[in-house]
Each structure stands twice: as structure tokens, then as C-alpha cells.
Amino acid sequence: MKCDYDLIIIGAGTAGVVAAVYGKAMYRKVLLVESGRPGGKNFFSYTYPLNAVISISRKINTVRSMENLGVNPGAINMDFNILKRKTEDTMKLIAEGVSSEIFRKMGIDFISGSASFKARNVLDIDGKSISGSKFILSTGLENIIPDIQGLDKDKCLFAEDVINLSELPESACIIGAGESGIEISNALAGFGSRVILFERNSEILPDEDSEIRDILEKNMTEKGITIYKSAVITKIESSGNGYKVNYVSEGKETSLETDKIFCCAGRRPDFGKLNPDAAGIRHVSDKIITDRYLRTSSENIFAAGDITGKMNYNNTAEIEGLTAVINSAHYFKKPVNYDIIPRCINGDMEFARFGLTESEAEKKYGHGIRVYKFPLKYSIKASIENMSEGMAKIICRSNSRIVGAHIYSDGASELIHQLLLLVRLKRKFSEISHIPHAFPSYSDILRQPSKRCYMEQQIDNPLLNIINGLFGRKLR
């Protein structure tokens, strides 16, 4: 069957854009289809605006924290309209780099419209049939509204809506203590709102390392954020200009009043009008099912980004987009290594991590692991910057190879890459100790524990022990 295009990508978010750009080097005729703004709804509606707000909140909190250093910051007022205009202006500049005109100049056809499968090789795009040999699916996410009596889309906001606030709410209720719930809680509290955070599970961030999580939670409560864990919201009612939230916590039914409600209960892939069944694509309610090479149950169709339901991060989408298009074109395929994809939670400080937690490493490798920690309070740079509550925690196997890293510190999203490079190059954690670092710098929280790793290596080295034994020296 002769098709209109060699490769069709549905969705022009991060994964789709990467797949289209690299795909043009592998296929003659490439089509990119997007129903909204090129660049993706997730980036322009969620990632960039939310992080812009978090950045301002962090700066305000830094100024306020300088009171114990003799600085009197006075009253700090926030004009959300100015922030919104500045954010929109910046996003316009970013959007110019992923416009439909840019794609066409690269030789990539672009159609603005909604795509729906009619058959395995045929799409309906707003009434027009277009065929393709290979496809990559990369549509985005939609927010989940929890099943709570009285809660609907008119009552709740989402994390990205904070940029659209006309004024700062006196109080805000956050439903869900996952990543976005933690971020929006810190941001609003930094501006001065009274924040109440609800989590159904027994812990916030249940998938994260417990030791780092406890430090983060302590910092949040000291900031004035009220956290209810193992709490169930039973009903939400309108009350004056705000809402009444009825909930059960520690076996007691009670309620509170709040001005705004933010739903941070997660997001799920948005299939839109895709109609995957017509193409024989296996899926469940929250993801397209793929193999380890990102191929769906239809051999000519691959999926990348949020629609796979694996890790909903911008950097994951980029790697998946590249991997999917390479695997679609080549006989020899490669999987995505999710163990070395970092992720970061933004607040007053950053919490970055990749790989296994300590408990996960113990389950996988038994007791043959070594954990290296360095509290932030011992960092000269942190003390200069008036930071003390944080930690670097690196989990290694007995051979000093890193299997997990967790950093809660200023600049954690930058520091984490030094460790990722070691993993990618198959080098040992101890090798950082041999690299001179700038002083003072936050990178010292990695170099100091790497020195201990190096010393342990020397002690455990049987050859060195034999040589030193011959000369009457002992390392132990």
C-alpha cells in the first residue's frame, strides 16, 4: 500500500517535536499533527507557568528568611497580573521556536487538527483521510478531578491555574500531596497564603526516599503548611465566597473553610479523538500499552511521552520521542533506561533524584549496598546562603557503582547531573573525590561523601591489604 506519508506523528508536545525533527533525517515524508499549540499543552499550560510562579515564591521566601541575618525586608506585595504578562511574553518567544512555520522550513508538513484512526494505516484529520506507513503517538495529559461529593470543575483549580489568579487567596486547600501538590503548596505558602494539604496515603510523596521526604515535610510544616495525612475528604460545599471542606482525619469527622481548592490528584493521558481501537492498539484507561521499545500492539505504531503512562516528565518525553523514532526506523532497537532519568520537585529548595530509593535498593540487592549521606548543614556554601535543612544521599552497590541518588538542596537539579554522568560512563562514585571542586560550592555535598567511598574502597581492596601487610602496614 502506497501511503501519503512515511511517518506521521500525532501530538506536537516535547516527544512529538523531537520525533518529528529526528524523523526527518530517517524518513522522506514526515507529517506532524497537533490540535492545539505546537510545543504542547503540558509545557505552555503547566510546566512553564507553574515553575515561573514557584521561582518568584522562592525568591520572596529567601528575602523573608534574611530577617535572622539583620535584614528587614518589610512588606512584600505580589501582583499576579504583572507576573502573568511577563510569563506570557516569555512563552511567546519560546513558541516561535516550535511554530508550524519552523517545521515547514525543515521539510516537515504540519496540520492543525484532531486526528482519529480509521484503520491501522489511515487517519481522519477533521474529515480528511491521510495514510501513513509508520506512526508515533504523543498526545498529552488531562487533569484528574477526584471523586468527592460536591467537587466539580467549577469548584476546583489545578496547579497551572495559579498563574491566572487575580489576587492571592488568604487560604487554599490542596488535594493530593504528590509532586504538583507539594510544589503548589510551597509556592502559595511562600506568597503568604494559609495552606492546608490533604493526602489519602499515610505519607506525602509515598514513592520517594523516606529520609529525604521527612526533611522536606519538616521544612513545609515549619513554613506554616498544615498537612493532613491518611485524610479523606468526604464532601465540598460552597460557603460565602469560598468553600467548606468536610473531611475525616485520624478517625474524626471535621471541616474547615477555604478560599480556593486546588486539585493535584494526578493527571492521565488524554487520548482525545484518537480512537486507538480502530488501529488495533491495546490500551487501558490511563495509557497506551507498549513493549520496552515503545512499540504498540500494532507493529507500525509507536508511542512516546505522556501517553505511555510511564514517567510524565519533559525530559522523559524527549528521550522517548527520540527512542521511538529510532526504533521505528531501525531493525536493531533499544529500550529506554528509566533508571537514569532524573526528576525534580521545586519548592524553597529543589529535590532531585534518579534511580532507586534505599528501601528499593535493599529489596533488589539485599544488604550488599552502601549508603553515603551528607547533611546540608555541614556545607560551607549552605551556611553562607543561610540554608541548613537538606541532604545528599547516594546509594551504591558494594562495587561503588551508583544505583540511586537523592539531593534536597539549592541547585539539586544541576548537581544531580554530575552523578548521572558517572552512571552513564559506568564509573564509580568514589571518582568524584579526585576532581577539584570550586570552593565554596554546593557540589561539596557530593565530593565529601565520595571521599568516604574512596577510603572504604582502599580498606576493602585485597591487593592493597596484601602489599601493605608485606611492608608491615595495615589499613584497618
Closest CA to 111 of 12, 212, 222, 254: 12
Written as one letter, the residue type at 138 is: S
**Per-residue pLDDT reduced to its tens digit, 417-466:** 999 999 999 999 999 999 999 999 999 999 999 999 998 887 766 665 56
- pLDDT above 70: residue 470: no
Decide whether 5-143+268-338 matches 349-464 in CATH topology.
no
User: What pLDDT score was predicted for residue 69?
Assistant: 75
**In 279-353, which ranges are continuous DSSP H helix?**
314-329
User: What pLDDT score was predicted for residue 462?
Assistant: 65
- Every domain of the chain and the residues it spans: 5-143+268-338, 157-266, 349-464
CATH topology for the 349-464 domain: Enolase-like; domain 1 (3.30.390)
User: What pLDDT score was predicted for residue 420?
Assistant: 96
CA angle 253, 216, 395 (to 5 degrees): 125
Which residues, other chains included, contact 92 with Cβ-Cβ below 8 Å and sequence gap of 6+?
A: none
Percentage of the chain beyond pLDDT 70 is: 96
Residue 156 has a CB neighbour count (10 Å cut-off) of 22
- pLDDT above 80: residue 469: no
Q: Which three cell numbers stand for residue 345?
A: 520537585
Domain 157-266: CATH superfamily is FAD/NAD(P)-binding domain (3.50.50.60)
- Stretch 312-338: mean pLDDT: 93
Helix (H, G, I), strand (E, B) or coil at 119: strand
Judged by average pLDDT, the poorest of 115-119, 364-368, 428-432 is 364-368
**Per-residue pLDDT reduced to its tens digit, 393-422:** 999 999 999 999 999 999 999 999 999 999
Inter-residue contact 87 to 52 (CB < 8 Å): yes
CA distance 146 to 247: 14
CA distance 110 to 37: 12
Judged by average pLDDT, the poorest of 35-49, 180-194, 229-243, 353-367 is 35-49
Domain 5-143+268-338: CATH superfamily is FAD/NAD(P)-binding domain (3.50.50.60)
Detail the DSSP E strand segments found in 120-168: 122-125, 128-137, 141-143, 157-158
Top mean pLDDT of 38-52, 92-106, 383-397 is at: 383-397
Inter-residue contact 54 to 160 (CB < 8 Å): no
Written as one letter, the residue type at 68 is: N
Residue 301 phi/psi, 5-degree rounding, is -120, 125
